[in-house]
A = this chain, B = another copy of it.
């Protein structure tokens, strides 16, 4: 992430080709999604042969899983630091709503969201690294949903699901080009993230209205 010397040049695997390959994989994913990722291209970016990665990862999926783990940790970190900077950080509604912006922006910029994190092929590897990263992320979100919901745990889980779908949908529509009839706007990402936050506010408010403590039925 940090290095930005040449446009995409080479040979900075001074000592850690494994890490360099994960970085390259994340770059590829951010540029063209999981479909744009290939072991060969990642190797090319780093400046090694197509065979070299197989010394560090048994197969394509292993590298992909490592990249997914890294992305998950990055996302969790972004959510943790961003929640405190909401318009009204003391309001649990604003705190949860802010995560919709963080998530959609992250996915739009990196193309590494829940669909990558929860890819069955990756989760089924029972990779401890990915499992731990996923759990930390879900725990963080659940905490925020619990605070924002006026119902019980059941209502909070439902709210989290609704909220997650909303943020994921914003990212998906933007990435799919549904918001940009013309060429993609430079600052469109921020605008989309803002819309996601605004939508999340409506959703949370509506959810609280329909799941008020006095009216916990249904």
> Which A residues have a C-beta under 8 Å from some C-beta of B?
35, 114-120, 123, 158, 161-162, 164-170, 172-173, 175-178, 180-181, 195-196, 198-199, 201-207, 209-210
Contacts and interface: CB of A to CB of B under 8 A. Distances in A.
Contacts of A158: 195, 198
Contacts of A206: 201-207, 209
Q: How many copies does the complex hold?
A: 2
| Closest 7 A/B residue pairs (Cβ) | A169-B169, A206-B206, A115-B176, A165-B169, A202-B206, A162-B199, A205-B206
Nearest to A210: B202
Contacts of A117: 178
* Residue of A180, A202, A210 contacting most chain B CB atoms (<10 Å): A202
B209 A172 contact: no
Nearest to A159: B202
Contacts of A203: 162, 166, 199, 202-203, 206
Given A162-B199, A169-B165, A178 B118 contact: yes
A95 to B, nearest CB: 17
Contact of A201 (B170, B180, B198, B210): B210
18 contacts: A114-B176, A115-B172, A115-B176, A118-B176, A119-B176, A158-B195, A162-B195, A162-B202, A162-B203, A164-B173, A165-B170, A165-B199, A166-B199, A167-B169, A168-B173, A199-B203, A203-B203, A206-B207
B176 A169 contact: no
A131 B181 CA distance: 12
Given A115-B173, A162-B166, A166-B166, 4 more contacts: A115-B172, A118-B176, A123-B181, A165-B173
A9 B118 CA distance: 34
A94 B63 CA distance: 46
A119 B177 contact: yes
B210 A209 contact: no
A119 B114 CA distance: 21
A35 B174 CA distance: 19
Contact of A177 (B118, B167, B201, B205): B118
